[in-house]
Amino acid sequence: MKTNQTPYSYDLIPYESHSYPQSHPDHLATLGSLFGLTPPPVTRCRVLELGCASGGNLIPMAYHLPESEFVGVDLSKREVEMGRKTVQDLGLKNIRIKHANITDVDGSFGVFDYIIAHGVYSWVPDAVQDKIFAISGENLAPNGIAYISYNTYPGWHIREMIRHMMLYHTNQFKETKERIEQARALMDFLASSVPTGTDYFGLLLKSELDLIRRAEDWYIFHDHLEENNSPVYFHQFIEQAEKHGLQYLAEAQFSKMLASGFSREVEKTLEGISKDTVEAEQYMDFLRNRLFRQTLLCHMNLSFKRTLVADNLEGILIASRADTAGEPIDLSPGVKQVFKAPNGAKIKTDFPLTKAALVVLRRAWPEAMNLSTLIKKSKQFLQKKLNHYEMAAIEERETLGEDLLYCFAGNAIEFHTWQADFVTAVSERPMVSPLAAYQARHGLPIVNQRHEVINFDPISKELLKVMDGHKNHKAILDHLVKRAADGTFVLEENDKQISGKNHLRDALKTSMEEIVRNLAKSALLLK
């Protein structure tokens, strides 16, 4: 979150830079396609990120999309230098990270198919906020999509109150480290002192304090102690965007655009009091006490349909981890089956082809497939289980498509326009993504080929460093035994450290194969 008011604060304490899947061009293109737009293909596009820090979000995009071009801009010289070193080490030729002010971006930068500003808008002065919209209007390609995240009211009122308390207390201290320590001390004091029980204010305040207290120092310093942090109401954000010829397209978190989480009575009231989508979204923010948005914008002259239809799934890739949670699958018509995704989303369906499709997708995870392939594999699976299954091709395609859209709206499946070249099968000489190997060696957040940050234990990190496609499983195991013996990581059994190479080998052999399979299922292995 970059601010122009205190240009050296990010040099003093760099903001942790990592990937944001919801800002990836593939995700933006997918949502645009679902609404009937024709966004540029992500395999050959130009991407601009405003406030790119050290490139934690932009560099993995550039690495996995070598035919596309990426430009990042950031005011922190220290972070830019860190990002440039990573770019140089990886030998990337399709990315530039520029040390510049957002206000320096002009027509000379060229036109971009996708513009990203994550964690910037709320943390810069009004003039820079306006410049972000100007760039999104003037430097955005005709069919391009801009992504801007920002803090919103009403949810940020309670967090803003805590921020004001922290600023009041810490402004008497000069040293950055002391300010952070004092901010934490104040939060500890408040959390232990505010009344709770039946006191709603106390419960709400304590809940927010507990969340902030668990945050890292860099987050507290930049998100709460910076000079600028200006939340807005959603309708105010859109009004400013419209002044620059931009219109509201969607939210990166699509499921939050729907009123399906409310009762039918609430849905009817929202329909009655909202004359357009922006008003409906604003009222839903009131109901949800929303505090953060990730909004997609496009040019005002583009027309699209907000009603999603199955026809828009052409060219879309589908993936899902939804499972039956260990319950036996019943594919029979009319028998409802519950599927649950790791994020807690639940889907209930009695349509045999949809049930079969969710099973097929779960078994293929993390690979995605197009609708035609999914139908083919799902029918094959059905015919093995239900010999009498028969349905007209047009009807099954439309019905499954509608069900998949319902699952997508419920956050139980994913849609994509592009998929990286990873494998889910473990070969004799497995090869991890060189980007992930580099990140593991340099202590950086590890990003898989789905643009997700993956947290790993020490053994997994050591595997990432050594699985280069040349070593077989025995050689990999030998390396792990050596590293465990020299204390690189510690193995324990029954709360006691395992020692001795033979004991270490036995313990590691038991777990290594499972860890490697998990790496494959985490989209980290290459062919």
**What's the residue count for the chain?**
527
Distance CA(437)–CA(460), nearest Å, equals: 11
Distance CA(124)–CA(477), nearest Å, equals: 50
pLDDT in tens, 215-255: 888 788 877 888 788 999 999 999 999 999 999 999 999 98
Amino acid at 75: L
For residues 333 and 349, is the Cβ–Cβ distance under 8 A? Answer: no
Q: Which residues pair with 346 in a beta bridge?
A: 340
pLDDT in tens, 64-86: 999 999 999 999 999 999 999 99
Distance CA(489)–CA(195), nearest Å, equals: 44
Which pLDDT value is given to residue 189?
A: 87
Which pLDDT value is given to residue 111?
A: 98
Distance CA(169)–CA(183), nearest Å, equals: 7
Residue 92's nearest CA partner among 67, 118, 117, 57 is 67
Angle of CA points 440, 442, 443, to nearest 5°? 65
Distance CA(324)–CA(56), nearest Å, equals: 35
Q: Where are the domains of the chain?
A: 9-153+231-299, 161-217, 310-416, 431-526
Distance CA(47)–CA(147), nearest Å, equals: 11
For residues 35 and 306, is the Cβ–Cβ distance under 8 A? Answer: yes
Residue 62's nearest CA partner among 42, 79, 77, 76 is 42
Distance CA(53)–CA(50), nearest Å, equals: 9
Listing DSSP states for 321-380 in one string gives --B-TTPPP---TT--EEEE-TTS-EEEE--HHHHHHHHHHHHHTT--EEHHHHHHHHHH
SS3 state at 9:
helix
Rg (CA), the chain: 25
Burial of 487 (0-12, 13-18, 19+ CB in 10 A): exposed
pLDDT in tens, 370-408: 999 999 999 999 888 776 656 556 678 889 999 999 999
Which pLDDT value is given to residue 12?
A: 67
For residues 429 and 470, is the Cβ–Cβ distance under 8 A? Answer: yes
Distance CA(94)–CA(65), nearest Å, equals: 9
119 torsion bin: left (phi>0), alpha (psi -120 to 50), beta (else): left
Q: Which residues pair with 46 in a beta bridge?
A: 69
Residue 37's nearest CA partner among 238, 302, 415, 371 is 302
155 is written with which tokens?
Answer: 């949810």
| Domain covering 9-153+231-299, topology | Rossmann fold (3.40.50)
Residue 79's nearest CA partner among 63, 57, 61, 64 is 57
CA distances from 414 to 316, 367, 448 (A): 10, 11, 16
47, containing H or E segment: strand 46-50
Distance CA(163)–CA(226), nearest Å, equals: 10
pLDDT by residue for the chain (527 residues), tens only, comes to: 444 444 456 666 666 789 999 999 999 999 999 999 999 999 999 999 999 999 999 999 999 999 999 999 999 999 999 999 999 999 999 999 999 999 999 999 999 999 999 999 999 999 999 999 999 999 999 999 999 999 999 999 988 888 898 899 999 998 888 998 998 888 888 888 877 777 777 777 778 778 788 888 878 887 788 878 899 999 999 999 999 999 999 999 998 888 877 888 999 999 999 999 999 999 999 999 999 999 999 999 999 998 888 888 989 999 999 999 788 899 988 899 999 999 999 999 999 999 999 999 999 999 999 999 999 999 999 888 776 656 556 678 889 999 999 999 999 999 999 999 999 999 999 999 999 999 999 999 999 999 999 999 999 999 999 999 999 999 999 999 999 988 888 888 878 888 888 888 988 988 899 999 999 999 999 98
Cβ partners under 8 Å of residue 386, min gap 6: 331, 332, 352
Span between the terminal Cα atoms of the chain, in Å: 37
Amino acid at 475: A
